[in-house]
Chain A
Amino acid sequence: MTLTADFVIATAVAYVGLLFLVAFLGDRHTRNRQGGFLRSPFVYTLSISVYCTSWTFYGAVGTAARTGLEFTTIYLGPTLVFIGWWFILRRLVRISHDQRITSIADLLSSRFGKSSPLGVLVTILAVIAIAPYIALQLKAVTSSIQAIAGSSEYGHGSIEGWDEVGLAFGVAAGMALFTILFGTRNVDAKEQHHGVVAAIALEAVVKLTALIAVGVFVLYAGGGLENIFTRAAEQGLNIHATETFGDRWIATMLLAASAIICLPRQFQVTVVENSDESHLRTASWAFPAYMLAMSLFIVPIALYGLTTMPEGSNPDMFTLTLPLAAGQEGLALFAFIGGFSSATSMIILESIALSIMVSNHIVVPVMLRFSADDSPGDGLGVRRLILNARRLSILLILFLGFSYFSLTRTSDALAPIGLISFAGVAQFLPAILAALFWRDASTKAAVAGVTIGFIVWFWSSFLPSFASSSPMVAEIMQNGPAGLTWLRPQALFGLDRLDPLAHAVFWSLFLNTTVLIVGSLITSQSALEHVQAAIFLNVARHGSGEPNPLRGSATADDLFLVARRVLGHQRAFDLFREEARQTGTAWTSIEPSPNFIHRLERELAGSIGAASAHVMLSKVVSGGVISLEEVMQMADETQQAIEHSQALERASAQLRATAEKLEVANRQLRLVDQQKDEFLSQVSHEVRTPMTAIRAFSEILLSEDELDQAASRKFISTIHKESLRLTSLLDEILDLSALERGERVWESRPINAEETLDQAMRVCDALARQNRTRMVSGPRASVAIVSADADRLSQVLINLISNAIKYNDAENPEVVIRSRIDGEQYIIEVADNGSGIPEEERGRIFDKFYRGRNGEATSYAGAGLGLPISQQIIARMRGTLELVPKTTVGACFRATLPLAEHEKPSEPEEEARKPASERLRTSA
């Protein structure tokens, strides 16, 4: 059997018939079962691989043969976008589900205030930009048929005499017919085409297995991977040596990454046809894996073709011609079907996607404008119009592709043609990213940015492809328009160092983005833009927190008429009946709630796009504009409220901290206040006792005339004694308060504390004798130089020793005085052998007026100020006075003073002059 053109064409037609059957079954399957196999993540992934067209199947081998690894960028770019699905694709899918987005033009128009002009602009530009891509497919299919026809003597069969253009026209016409039959059978609610997706998935499997089959054949025929590479290297075919990783590498990778988002058909399969967000999860690795599998054999096929095929063979066709040359006709037929699959799937989906854009953004708005009468019609009118518009646009799109093909047919390679389309659709990328991430991007700026980007693309990328067929274009390429050399398409502003593709990508995207950003900064958004921007960002952030763009009143009848015109009687009826059921009213008396109007708008948007749906409903819903303002305000207020509440949270945390500090300070203040009260009452109490005695005795002296001399003398001496006590009490109080406030200033100078101690012992000697107390001088330090005032230190020591004598209740009272030097400290201890200080009193022994039970009992009861004063004095000498804890017998007081030579020379009196309380604070 010899392969002929007739035979492969017949096979192709049969294959198309199979696809049609699959699509038909697929549609029926999903209609009956709500999902099932066709909604699995793998079918979804396979449908995304419509990205791999005949550019991949044939062109990648050609690119590998010409420029080595560069072909991988076309797949690495999308790989990167898919492994980062969480950040861009997920948002796109979520927003599109929520807003019932039907196409990329719909996405941009919807985000930028449901702007019709932007939708129209994007649609027209997409149609123009895709023309080269369609041409690429036509060229690939035509070349593949010709390759088979030329492979044998009788190969041409009935296409004998057809030239390339005629054949391409035939292919285009066939494709148009096929696509119309395929894609415009109905206007679907969400523009989901499960049947088509099923067929596309089948094609994805066919093209992958076909390419792998050819790859395995090549490996087998070439004797293994190493042999193929080695032989190529021996023949001087070193793809390794080409300038791979330069500006072109970066540019193509960027283009491919943006194409996977911006190509209308990719948007269609990835976003619009997505029925479950989690499918994206699987596709995130499965689609890159698919592309990896597609690319694995490209380099071996290219090298094997270059080494074995005759000089001058078209490397783009190696996938087909290698099996043919080896006489493997079955494999060649399979390869042809694989290439045909990749071309048809692309053309079908691309034209469906574009035709949806054309009908929703151009035809329906025009129709709405010219059919001002709201005649009810039969509901089929609009649908029929939409379908016809789509059919026409499919014809138009294929015709444009064919025209481009016939004008540029002299260019030989496939890949550069595809890259022109990629660079064209990449102009949507800045606007899409702004739509997803930037709240302040404005419609005017988006329109201007896309327009500028496209003009630059048209000039520097699209136009040069006609250079071979048009002398005028060639002239412009050479010298610039009208001799303006700085406007030469491939050296704009004199930038001629870059590869032409990188040059076009750089200028178009740079100017596009700049205009978009600067434009958004200097223009302001309309109310609707504002709302839509908020919705898009909120959807991505918190799921759908959308307000209702259209609020206001409309009668159910009006709404029903609109719904029937677009959706058809049955679906409109179902929709209203559902609403009636939910609200529990008779469906003729439905009060259209804002929610219902919004749902209706989304339903309509699923058929005719957001902008048109909005226009249609605005016609019958009154009060829309006012509510828009309201909604905008609401959106703003919400945003502000969120920011506000965050600020409040921060402020309240600060307040809490301050309040805690205040509370602590307050507690201290209350304590101090209480101490002051206690002090006052104690002072009054202490003063009162001698005063009472003085008063009583002087009253007796005044009233009793017959008092004898001795008695009155005794009374007077008591009065004298009491007033002395009173004076000394007042002196002590004054002294203490002066000490506490730091008013007592004395001069500290180095003295021998041992001498002072001896002196104090001598003073107390009389008292000791009087009390029959033995005063024992224990181990003593010989000399201890401390910085102190001798009189004050003596006062403290006398106080300690006399206390020890006075309160000693032992049978054989004894007081031991010891002193020693411990490191830098001089320590004096005064210990007695009395009953000591009970445990519960130890803590309060230094409190003012606290005398303890022993103290109160004895006749020597003082004011209870001796110890506090002593403590203050020692503290001001930078020492400590303490009660030694846990002594076996009696009480032991210990005064510790720093030795003079170890004292810090600085801050001598400053510190000492401060009140004790203040010092506590500074040291804390």
Chain B
Amino acid sequence: MIMKKYTIIIVSLLIGFSYSCDKIEEPFKEIVDVTPVDTSNTTTRVYVKRVMVEDFTGHKCTYCPAAHRELDDLIAVYGSKIVPLTIHAGDFTGLDAEFITDFTTTEGTAIYTDFQVGSTPKGLVDRTIYDGNLSLFFSAWGAAIQQQLADTLIKVGVFIENSYNDANRELTSEISVEFFDNYSDTLSLAVYYLQDSIIAPQIDGAQYPNDHVHDYEHKHVLRGSLSGTYGEEIISGIITKNQIIEKTYKLTLDSEFNEDKCTIVAFVLDTETKEILNVEELEFKH
């Protein structure tokens, strides 16, 4: 009798499990409706909640281009609501006779180490936790972005005004941070600069197993900061609604960098957790 009972339990489990399969039919992609962010509580400037995606990569990382493609797909859906940064860090960034461009930065290496990224391709989405993890494999970026955009109420907005002097290659970047709620917090402002569309070699095992790509387009590459890795503290304690904080940063651009492809990324982060509250991007020559 006991035997029969056990057998019934086991057979029930087997039948139960056998239904545990979801076969997906084509098309495999959803049609995503990205509704505009509610900006009604802003003042004169238009502020949007954007999400910063830091894609840790390396030019000798064979799986990293798959992450770049994922990021392209997400940008195709979310547009400028995503501010992408490609950060070269980790084991696959070494130089040799073929891979001559050093894409690494002090800031990128510090973030890679401090956030225990550990391997590439991995990413941080607003430096916030998704499904228990800070450092996310690229397949989780979409869901994490969705999580960040779910809250449409903007607590803080960032506005950038750039002026670039061609003669001395000096950039002046004026950043305004505006708060839209009364609350208490300690926040910092960080300002990075990126270079887009750099043509250089890249290993891409998934798409080009027989040779590395000689003319790969490296996008959104982090080149450095104007504020230090985690920026400077701009407010601590009580924050008042409609309060505005303005900061000015200057940079003399290295002659090897193409100023037409450079952008400023400015973001407000929680000083303690480093979580990003909002981010904005603007070309040097806007």
Instruction: Please say whether chains A and B are actual partners in one complex.
Output: no
